[in-house]
Structure 1
Amino acid sequence: MKNHLLIKGSFLLALIGLAALPGLLRLIGLEESTIRSLLGSLTIIMIWGIFALSYNLLYGITGLLSLGHSVFLGLGALGVGIAAIHWGMGFWPALVIGLLISGLAAFLAGGLFSKIKRDAFWVATAVSSLMAYLLVLYFHDFTGGASGLRLPRDVLDLGMNDLSFIDRDVQYLFVLVVLVLVYSLLRWLARTPLGMALSLIRENEEKAALIGYSTQNLKWAAFGISGALAGLAGVLLAFALHSMDADLFQWTHSVQALAWVVIGGSGSLVGSLLGTGLAKGFEELWSNAWLSAPLLLGILLILIARFTPRGSP
């Protein structure tokens, strides 16, 4: 009980600190350019944290290893780009379109992939990622291809009191609120009968079926919800970077999410966020080093898998 209260209190303190961070940075007298750069980096890390949380639901909670999770990340960003550039929509309509496209695709794909046996699941999802990436490149007149789509400045206007997503403070606080909402949703979900059933599938799918659970439908639900949340991360990434890149569809982003979840402790919501922060901070630290960040992350993942197969405590 004491540990639970300690964790909850620490989380609330961290949340208050993050919310007050822009003001605190100005209070200590940092240059505005430094503050903007720091808030921009933290915003991107939080968005990747949302992506990691979505992957944790699929892999950490349900036990499904997917290498196609990045497809929904890319679809969320692509939906924003299409809505803004081809259909002339503003911030909120483009946000909704991005969520609808990625969410619908996730639930449709979930109906298909939930029928595939676990041993072949990662192969099928990896193929889907490759196919999606190639399709984006092929229809380059519509998707922007390898060059991607650049969002016009007016689409970043929130339409409220001259607020714009170009403003780093607005970006940061907006994404922080979304991150807290996603975390709260998944924390609540883990305590519901659905969440407990998904955990049972991870531990013993045959036992879950014998008890009477429809494991196919449960995996479908997990795939759909996690994919929709990945799409949300893609939507936010498109707005934060003011662009959509075909690279978001690459299976390597799914591998990165897997690494973040394992680093933080598979199945742990807080761990997924800490793993993301650690890995992205590590990547930033080594971005100009002679040894590439992906290689270093791979080495770190191998060491963790070797010595702490269940992730960090």
Structure 2
Amino acid sequence: MRIWTLHLFTLAVLAVLLATLPPYHATNLARILVLAVFAIGYNLAFGYTGLLSLGHALFFAAGVYGAALPITYLGLPQLPALVAGLLAGGLVAGVTGLLALRTAGVSFMIVTLMFAQAGYLTLLYFGPVTGGDEGLVLPDAAALLPGLSADVARATIAYALFSAALLSSLALVQSRLGRTLVAIRENEDRSRMLGYNTFAVKLTALVLSGLFSGAAGAAYALLFGYAGASFATIQYSILPMLWVLMGGAGTVLGPLVGTAAMFYLVDIAGSYTTATLLFVGVALVLLILFAPKGILGTIRERWLTWLP
């Protein structure tokens, strides 16, 4: 009960913040919530299943273009396009997993990286359709919820998406499947010996991760009105890994904490210097030295052992 109370209280606080913050800060919070959904997806694969992937940019970009292309060329309404982006992320993750999961460890990381790079080059090659690095401009976010301003529509959709992602991930990690994912992460050989089909379970985890990532990519494109090949670059594979590591891998709220901490670290550092990555690097070094399990991971280890 206290686990669900904590997460519902977090959602209540976020709702109050979105309703009371000035438009600029509310838009930043909406951006954080969408990116936190991406981090939640990465956390399912890495934090709970132990799949260190450098290919999640491909799933994010699949969501971006899964929503953007039908809107641009088929005139699909925005909400159905959001669902199309979600499904595109899951489909690409499934195809990638069928091949990449035949490897493990560093080999898995390299194979997923190559898939993501292949996806990026494909988007550039078909630049006349995808827009390449210039990208595609999408309708204003106000079209998502007619009758509301773009800022209100953006905040509402971002909050609804994050709430659904957070609660579903919490239910997942407390389920039998979630416990199986952790068992495979801790000792895959023993899990296989106990009769689990570890390949099928890992593929399921990767597809679920792709669904979350695709939903985040589609929402990001629709809420902020842009889809470009840059979303498939290596940067968008490294960022969710950093957010999860900073917040705490294998914790449900860790992706939100890590995404918000990294976002505001870069934002505050950018007001003083252009060398924002220097601040990020220092923060990560301090994190490794004093809180190697991330912010919430360390809190769980030392004080709140019941955190999921």
TM score, norm. by length of structure 2: 0.90
Q: How far did 1:187 drift? A: 0.8
Name the counterpart of 1:32: none
Deviations 1:181-205 (A, max 9, x none): 1111111111222111110111111
Give the residue type in structure 2 aligned to 1:20.
V
1:211-266: CA deviations, max 9, x gaps? 11111111111111101110000011001210112111112222111111111111
Pairwise mapping of residues 44-123 of structure 1 onto structure 2 (< 5 A)?
44-123=31-110
Against the structure 1 CA distance between its residues 22 and 259, is the aligned structure 2 distance closer, same or farther, given a 3 Å change threshold?
A: closer
Q: 1:289 to 1:128 in 2, by over 3 A?
A: farther
Letter in 2 for 1:157: A
The number of equivalent residue pairs is 296
- What stretches of structure 1 of length at least 5 have no aligned partner? 26-34
Query: Over residues 148-167 of structure 1, what are the superposed CA-to-partner deviations in whole Å (9 max), with x where a residue is unaligned?
Result: 110134x8523x6x335x62
One-letter amino acid of the counterpart of residue 244, structure 1:
A
Of the three residues 144, 147, 159, the one matched with 1:163 is 147
CA contact (8 A) 1:76 1:235 kept: yes
Q: Which runs of 5+ in 2 are unaligned?
A: 299-308
Closer, same or farther: CA 243–189 of 1 in aligned 2, 3 Å: same
Provide the C-alpha distance between the structure 2 equivalents of 1:14 and 1:221, rounded to a whole number of angstroms.
28
Q: Distance in 2 between matches of 1:231 and 1:19?
A: 24
Match of 1:17 among 9, 13, 22: 13
Q: Secondary structure at the match of 2:133?
A: helix
| In 1: Cα distance, 2:83 partner to 2:241 partner | 27
RMSD: 1.9
Which residues of 2 match residues 104-143 of structure 1 at below 5 A? 104-143=91-130
Q: Which residue of 1 aligns with 2:268?
A: 285
1:271 to 1:101, Cα distance in 2 relative to 1, 3 A: closer
Supply the distance in 2 between the matched residues of 1:156 and 1:232 (Cα, whole angstroms). 19
Contact 2:43–2:249 at 8 Å: present in 1 too?
yes
CA contact (8 A) 2:142 2:153 kept: no
Determine the C-alpha separation between the residues in 2 that align with 1:108 and 1:52. Answer: 21
**1:62–1:198: 8 Å Cα contact kept in structure 2?**
yes
State the partner residue of 1:194. Answer: 177
Number of the residue aligned with 2:277: 294
Which structure 2 residues correspond to residues 222-241 of structure 1 after superposition, within 5 A? 222-241=205-224
Conservation of the 8 A alpha-carbon contact between 1:90 and 1:156? no
Tell me the SS of whatever aligns to 1:269. Answer: coil
Pair 1:216–1:14, CA change in 2 (3 A):
closer
Give runs of ≥4 in structure 1 deviating > 6 Å: none
SS at match of 1:117: coil
CA shift at 1:9, angstroms? Answer: 4.1
The answer to whether the Cα contact below 8 Å between 1:163 and 1:170 also exists between their aligned partners in 2 is no
- Per the TM alignment, residue 51 of structure 1 is displaced from its structure 2 partner at its CA by 0.7
1:5-52 CA-to-partner distances (Å, cap 9, x unmatched) read 3x6544433322322334434xxxxxxxxx221111110011111111
CA distance in 2, matches of 1:257, 1:102: 15
What amino acid maps onto 1:297 in structure 2? V
User: For 1:195 and 1:10, how far apart are their aligned partners in 2?
Assistant: 19
Whole-angstrom distance in 1 between the partners of 2:77 and 2:8: 34
Q: Is the 8 A contact 2:68 2:218 kept in 1?
A: no
Give the direction of change, closer, same or farther, for the CA distance of 1:265–1:140 in structure 2 (3 Å limit).
same
Between the aligned partners of 1:56 and 1:97, the Cα distance in structure 2 is 22
Q: TM-score, normalised by structure 1?
A: 0.89
Counterpart residue number, 1:147: 134
Distance 2:285 2:82 in 1: 37
Counterpart Cα distance in 2 of 1:60 and 1:125:
17
Query: Distance between the aligned counterparts of 2:220 and 2:255, measured in 1?
Result: 18
Q: Distance in 2 between matches of 1:74 and 1:95?
A: 13
Q: Which amino acid aligns with 2:32?
A: I
Task: Indicate the SS of the match to 1:93.
Answer: helix
Cα shift at 1:291:
4.5
Give the Cα–Cα distance (whole angstroms) in 1 for the partners of residues 249 and 136 of structure 2: 34
